[in-house]
Structure 1
Amino acid sequence: MNPAAPTAYERFQPWRRSFEVGFWVAQYLVSAIGNSITVGMDVRRLHLQFAAWQPAVWEASSSVVALALVPAVVWFTRRWPLHLDNWRRMLPLHLFGSLVWSALHVAGMVAIRKAIYAGQGLHYDFSPWWWEFGYEYLKDVRSYAGIVLAIEGYRLLLRRLQGEASLLGVPDEGPPMEAVERPERFLVRKLGREFLVAANDVEWLQAAGNYVNLRVRGHDYPLRSTIAGIEGKLDPARFVRIHRSYIVNLDQVASIEPLDTGDARVHLKDGTSLPGSRTYRGGLRERIGEGA
């Protein structure tokens, strides 16, 4: 790959936040408008005694609260991601999450509707609440599932564009090329292509939920692992833990800047600065001294 030519993933980064926010805003705006029109048509067709503004309030209140809850689902799925290899274990947790999401959604939209109705001199009735909540939950559990699938599908696409690393496993036949317990290389899959990355080329590693990002020549490759799990597989003579979320290649360390808090800032040769925790600061200084 030509390092001078930005990849599709890198070109997307400046627009990523705008795209993500815009997607959900557009999603719920279109949903509110479309549902308001169809509900209004049903009201007129059935000759129900509702003013024209009422269906718009119902749908808009639902969409506004659902949109406000999207960041909570993003956080929840980042903390407890739902994948093909763990869906049986995570399904009960996400069923509970859907119940909480529905309770917040219903409480928010009912509060908005009551406030608007009161402003019009009317009363919004949400009773019996247990029956109405059951009805809303049957819709909300599908909405929650759709949000989770959209988020996880989007993350999977980003990982494919970015490139996803894995440990070299034991082959189907014959002995492994290298010790699986402490591999010298990582296998990276990117847009249908596979290539090997030498472990010593990894500049630093950062924990990111259920993944650890490998930093290699300016690119990040997520590896499905915990930071503690991958630490045990790296060469301790070359890699050292500097923070609960960071491991650094000692060959990349330029200097250590002590901070008044007792922590440190670790400066790398490429100009990158990483946080150093006081818990690991002494070990880092000792290791650098040994190398010197």
Structure 2
Amino acid sequence: MTLTYFQRYQTWYATLFLCSYIFINNTINASSNIMEAQRDGVLPFMIWEPFVWEYSSAIGTLLLFPALVWLLKAKPFNWQKITRSLLIYLFASVIFSLLHVGIMVAIRKLIYTVQGMQYDFGLVWFELLYEYRKDLWGFLFLIAVIKAYQYVVNQLTGEAAPIKQGEDTPENLNFDRLLVKKLGKEFIVRVAQIDWLESSGNYVNLHIGARIYPLRATMSQLITQLEPQGFCRIHRSYAIRLDVVESITPLPSGDSEVKLTTGKVLNLSRRYKEQFKGNINSATANF
């Protein structure tokens, strides 16, 4: 599996893993409830009820999971302002629990109604407190899973970043060399080594021969910084270093194919063709 393919579909892989884990875990919980009741010799519920209880909880968790990802991105935990961060996450955990309870109770009431039965949530304040005790643990567990997943992915794929020169502002970032962190190591990549760039979600993949390094940026942001170093955008998703262009082949559609000295062939969109020709002419004249 290539890095580009994984980055493109990593959300689907992560979702599949999460769904599988939660539903397997809740299936085990439901079957355990049935086995414990059978061991006591009395089954105080219909055989399908524990599955409704557990799966409704699982669905609520999965529906709220994107909100946790957003929370970690929008409000990352700040150890410098720990009290404020603790209050934010405590409040978020309460909202998480209330929404989780609301979703699973709604699902249960719907299914029980279809079955001609009535679902009784119980004494509201007591049940909310009981559920919050479990949801708080689930809230913390899911945050730990998200952070662990992000850490493992970053370690395996590596991640490039501009080298800071003083203040963390665009004018103080060195785009001549990039610092790459991978598997606990740090090393320098020269921008002049990059053959082409590929947009991939919130990242731009830097292609250097057979190696690929993701850089957290948008293509528009990055190409603005790299154009003075001989890079040109040729497609919504691609940009190239002009001095690795080997040939250009026009296509009947009006687009063209650009072949690099590495053998890679990329699409030159009509939208960027004039800009590309201008940059090629300027690069040839300077040469």
Coarse TM-score class (shorter-chain normalised): 0.5 to 0.7
User: Where does residue 123 of structure 1 map in the other structure?
Assistant: 118
**Deviation by residue 1:52-80 (Cα, 9 ceiling, x = unmatched):** 5423320122224434665x459747975
The verdict on how the C-alpha distance between 1:146 and 1:110 changes in structure 2, with shifts beyond 3 A counting, is: same
Structure 1, unmatched stretches of 5+, are: 1-5, 172-178
User: For 1:234, what is the secondary structure of its paired residue?
Assistant: helix
Cα deviation, residue 114, structure 1: 2.4
Q: Which has the higher helix share?
A: 2
User: Where does residue 188 of structure 1 map in the other structure?
Assistant: 180
In structure 1, C-alpha distance between the alignment counterparts of 2:152 and 2:19, rounded to whole Å: 20
Q: How does 1:135-146 map to 2 (within 5 A)?
A: 136=131, 139-140=134-135, 142-146=137-141
The reply to whether residue 203 of structure 1 matches residue 195 of structure 2 is: yes
User: Where does residue 267 of structure 1 map in the other structure?
Assistant: 258
| Identity over aligned pairs, percent | 33
2:159 and 2:214 in contact (8 A); partners too: yes
**Deviation by residue 1:232-266 (Cα, 9 ceiling, x = unmatched):** 54351401244566543223444376897x9x566
The verdict on how the C-alpha distance between 1:197 and 1:128 changes in structure 2, with shifts beyond 3 A counting, is: same
In structure 2, C-alpha distance between the alignment counterparts of 1:140 and 1:228, rounded to whole Å: 41
Given candidates 242, 251, 255, the residue that maps to 2:243 is 251
Q: Once superposed, what is the RMSD of the aligned Cα atoms?
A: 5.0
In structure 1, C-alpha distance between the alignment counterparts of 2:94 and 2:274, rounded to whole Å: 46
1:213 and 1:222 in contact (8 A); partners too: yes
User: Where does residue 288 of structure 1 map in the other structure?
Assistant: 280
Q: How does 1:85-100 map to 2 (within 5 A)?
A: none
In structure 1, C-alpha distance between the alignment counterparts of 2:145 and 2:273, rounded to whole Å: 41
The verdict on how the C-alpha distance between 1:163 and 1:26 changes in structure 2, with shifts beyond 3 A counting, is: same
2:231 and 2:240 in contact (8 A); partners too: yes
In structure 1, C-alpha distance between the alignment counterparts of 2:244 and 2:4, rounded to whole Å: 23
The verdict on how the C-alpha distance between 1:228 and 1:112 changes in structure 2, with shifts beyond 3 A counting, is: same
Letter in 1 for 2:195: E
Cα deviation, residue 132, structure 1: 5.7
Q: TM-score, normalised by structure 1?
A: 0.65
Cα deviation, residue 91, structure 1: 8.5
Q: How does 1:1-292 map to 2 (within 5 A)?
A: 20=14, 23-37=17-31, 39=33, 41=36, 50-67=45-62, 70=65, 72=66, 76=70, 80=74, 82=76, 105-126=100-121, 136=131, 139-140=134-135, 142-170=137-165, 181-208=173-200, 210-227=202-219, 229-234=221-226, 236-242=228-234, 246-253=238-245, 254-255=247-248, 267-269=258-260, 270-273=263-266, 276=269, 278=271, 280-292=272-284
- For these two proteins, the number of residue pairs brought into alignment is 273
Structure 2, unmatched stretches of 5+, are: none
In structure 1, C-alpha distance between the alignment counterparts of 2:78 and 2:239, rounded to whole Å: 28
Letter in 2 for 1:151: I
